[in-house]
A and B are shown apart, each in its own frame.
Chain A
Amino acid sequence: MDYRDRLRRLAINDERIAEDDLDDLGVAPDGLDARSLALARIAALVAVGGAEPSFGSQADAAVSAGATPAEIVDVLVGIIPVVGLPLVVAAAPKVAMALGYDLDDPQPAFGDA
């Protein structure tokens, strides 16, 4: 199934996509590497105002796939023109927490044992 077929399948709002295994439907991601996928998901989380545990899970996935914290922050900055500053401002502390930094806390991660 090429990308045009997959787009068509998505465009008809096939409800099975939300329920079933993506592989069965042939729309599972196949070209995108895990790192880019995780970064895209972080961008999407910012856009929908996702909660902290979701950021935690996706930030971990991004680092697991080789992304650096700096790249994750690049994503936040990079989507400001699209989603607007307020959503990114709201997401920043959650992303920080997901990376092990509490912005409200004076102590740095890897600081005190």
Chain B
Amino acid sequence: MFEEIPGGITSEVELDLLLLDAKLSVPEPPARGSVSRAALIDSARSSERRVVGVTAPAGYGKSTLLTEWAHAEERPVGWVSLDRFDDDPGALLTLLASAFARITPGMDHLPVDVRGHGFSALGRAAPLLASAFRASPAPFVLMLDDLHEIRSPACQDVLSIVLAGVPHGSQVVAASRAEQPHLPRLRASGDALEITASELALDAAGARQIFAEAQVSLSADDAAEVVERTEGWPVGLFLAAAIARDSGDDPLSVSGDDRYVADYLYRESLAKLTEQQQRFLRRTAVLDRFSASLCDALLGSSDAQEMLRELEASNVFLVPLDRHREWYRYHSLFREFLLGELRRVEPDAIADLHLEAADWFEENGSPAMAIEHLLDNSTERIRATHLVATVALATYQAGQLTTLQRWFSALGDPAIAAYPPLAVLAGWISALTGHTDDADRWAAVLEAASYDGTPADGSASFASARAMLRAMMCADGPERALADAGFAVAAEPTWSPWRDQAFALLGEALLLAGDADQAEAAFAECSVTAAARDSSVLVVSESELAVMAMDHGRWAEAADHVQTALATIEQHRMHDYATAVLAFAEAARLAVHRGDLVDAHRQLTRAMRARPTCTYAIPFIAVRVRLQLAKVYWTLADHATARHLLREADDILLYRPALGTLVDDVSDFREFVSSIEHPGSAGGPPLTPAELRLLPYLQTHLSIREIGDRLFVSRNTVSSEVGSIYRKLGVSARSEAVERAMALGLLGA
């Protein structure tokens, strides 16, 4: 239910767009100080391998190679610079889709299409993107820089599926400091080419070129010697040349390619800069990306623009990110060195620098980046929790559940519990995503909490928000839910962004209490309010109104409600949301009434597929959708599926027995079903919610044990469920199961 971004706090998105643009732009080629990688690039291009992995430690010129390739490439090039905030399947897919959309006509909708939360990243969005790749009208090249920032297994699973869609003639080139887990399998099938440190290491000719550019002469013997000492490490050679130029030292005095050497070399290279310039570099290193205005805010200065120009002219470790030279970042190894310097020289300044950065991002409409700068600061917990509260629902809605969960765990449960409005949102999101344990835990925390301030999420009061969560979870039966929903309706004024939610909950509670007329009025009120502000809560009220209209034979009216609900789902890409299931079920029911069996089965598949999110966390939805689906399947003579759905509804009632009239509805239907003397036998058992959750993992090459780790279930459970999936789909191998599931509409878009 209730997927809405509360109004009034929607931030200005311009800065986020600028930052996104910087991440998706091919960096400018370095002015000097690099050795051409044309030979490596040519061989990688002519290899025609679909995936090229550039894997080497820092300082080997990976990004430079990608940049050179991108500028030399004739095929359209999409670019993604990844950073530590992108380690979230939703964020990663959105970036990949955005980069691809930029170079492929007619794909503007793709970044929005791949948004989705939880299991839908692997089951829907990743195969969708893979098939968009496959269908690309022209060969393309997609460059992923700093892939080592993507560490989570969930992201790697998604990536392996997406990479499988890269067609022959196109290439994905990924640079990473760490092993790239998808490469071994692709290499075995002849689809991958790897460029490693040994290919990136420079030879004597390369060394002489670097020294020549630094205007330091180097004899052939010395070149061989310095290459041997530095093991051809490009950044080491470059620094050796810079130091030789600036100090006249013997270039042979440096050796090795480890971090300490780099630190030493960088420190030497800073020596020629003024103290003011050094301080600028040190302090701005706390920023992942920066503009002059941000630097000025951070340092309390007004000359950052000039400083950046000076540094860019003298220092090749600064990378301009956009054509207008507004946004920059440091070479990553250099930034790590600068951060070390900052910790060494002025450790006390670090906390304040992050605060200044947070202020700037907040003022400039990027609360998410402000949160990132506040998370490590234990004295700023309160501010961070408030900020998270303002963007939590929007972040969830953008499909970045993993990011939200990372924030929650960085803040810690005590900090969240200390700010009850955020605890309500944590409970709300747990319930929406079907995480019953977390929802119950937050509900328990909230019972004891109180808060008198105005919540940052736009709701009228903490008490009202808590009442809505309680009504939604309906743990104590219809009467309590009715009282809670009634309280919320009274508390949320007409301009409140939560008013439609309150009416939806009131309608649900009235239905459970057996007051259908009043419920219909509440849902109608919800629809009017939700439609006026384009809110996705509309799905809930329109679906329930459709149920009631069809129950009374008002088919034309029902068709309008179904139409509105389905359009809202399309508009908000809510196909995998718990609240979409009832709309699909009613669309199927309507289609059966019209005799359109093809459409009926299509809608049923959509509903069945999305139903795993319908858990007892929102029990009335979970039971109602199963009851409605069971009735439609029964009408279609698929008695087996109807009975399995009834059984699922019974299981939910074990956890939430107090669901008022819904309990009677279920038992009425069960009695009707068992009164049938000779039941039809059409249809086999459907995939269970647990099996549906597992299904997307069959697309990967993960072992049974690894899948169990991903889903937090035992190996035994996975193996039993896989067997069951094979049996129900009538297949005997993993690839066949995936093919069959795709054909049935249980996987993919």
Contacts and interface: CB of A to CB of B under 8 A. Distances in A.
Interface of A: 34, 52-53, 56-57, 60-61, 63-66, 68-69, 97-98, 100, 102, 104-105, 107-113
Contacts of B684: 60, 64
A64 B640 contact: yes
Contacts of B364: none
B720 A66 contact: no
Nearest to B614: A113
B431 to A, nearest CB: 10
B274 interface: no
A56 B713 contact: no
Given A52-B720, A97-B720, 18 more contacts: A34-B681, A52-B723, A53-B720, A53-B727, A60-B685, A64-B644, A66-B673, A68-B647, A68-B650, A102-B713, A102-B717, A105-B713, A107-B713, A109-B689, A110-B616, A112-B712, A113-B434, A113-B615
A7 B639 CA distance: 32
B693 A64 contact: no
A68 B673 CA distance: 13
B190 interface: no
Interface string B433-458: 11111000000000000000000000
Contacts of B435: 112-113
B154 to A, nearest CB: 15
A61 B727 CA distance: 12
Given A63-B644, A64-B644, A64-B685, A112 B716 contact: no
B693 A113 contact: yes
Contact of A110 (B433, B648, B723): B648
Interface string B547-583: 0000000000000000000000000000000000000
10 contacts: A56-B723, A60-B727, A63-B640, A64-B639, A64-B685, A69-B651, A104-B716, A112-B615, A113-B433, A113-B613
Nearest to B713: A105
A97 B717 contact: yes
A97 B715 CA distance: 12
B302 interface: no
A40 to B, nearest CB: 17
A60 B729 CA distance: 13
B688 interface: yes
Nearest to A70: B650
A47 to B, nearest CB: 21
A2 to B, nearest CB: 21
Nearest to A34: B681
A36 to B, nearest CB: 13
Contacts of B650: 68-69
B690 interface: yes
A66 B643 contact: yes
B127 interface: no
Contact of A100 (B640, B679, B688): B688
B652 interface: yes
Contacts of B681: 34
Contacts of B689: 109-110, 113
Contacts of B685: 60-61, 63-64
B165 interface: no
B727 A109 contact: no
Given A34-B681, A97-B716, A102-B713, A111 B437 contact: yes
A109 B437 CA distance: 12
Contacts of B640: 63-65
A52 to B, nearest CB: 6
A53 B723 CA distance: 7
B674 A110 contact: no
B42 to A, nearest CB: 49
B655 interface: yes
A64 B686 CA distance: 9
Contacts of B714: 102, 104-105
Contacts of A110: 615-616, 622, 648, 651-652, 655, 689
Which of B433, B684, B693, B723 has its CB near the most chain A CB atoms (within 10 A)? B723
B612 interface: yes
B408 to A, nearest CB: 16
Given A63-B643, A64-B640, A66-B679, A57 B727 contact: yes
A65 B683 CA distance: 11
B119 interface: yes
A65 B652 CA distance: 20
A113 B612 contact: yes
Contacts of A34: 679, 681
A100 B718 CA distance: 11
B494 interface: no
A31 to B, nearest CB: 12
A108 B616 CA distance: 11
Contacts of A64: 639-640, 643-644, 684-685
Contacts of B639: 64, 66
A112 B434 contact: yes
Interface in B632-667: 639-640, 643-644, 647-648, 650-652, 655
Q: Which 9 A-B pairs have the closest CB atoms?
A: A113-B434, A64-B640, A60-B685, A102-B717, A97-B720, A53-B723, A113-B613, A111-B436, A56-B724
A13 to B, nearest CB: 30
A110 B647 CA distance: 11
A112 B437 contact: yes
B53 interface: no
Interface in B156-203: none
A64 B683 CA distance: 9
Nearest to B440: A111
Contacts of B434: 112-113
A81 to B, nearest CB: 28
Contacts of A60: 644, 684-685, 724, 727-728
A100 B727 CA distance: 15
Contacts of B690: 100, 109
Given A56-B720, A64-B685, A66-B679, A113 B713 contact: no
A69 B643 CA distance: 11
Nearest to B613: A113
A82 to B, nearest CB: 27
A26 B716 CA distance: 41
Given A64-B639, A66-B674, A97-B720, A109 B651 contact: yes
A67 B720 CA distance: 21
A56 B717 CA distance: 12
A112 B431 CA distance: 10
Contacts of B497: none
A92 to B, nearest CB: 14
B589 to A, nearest CB: 22
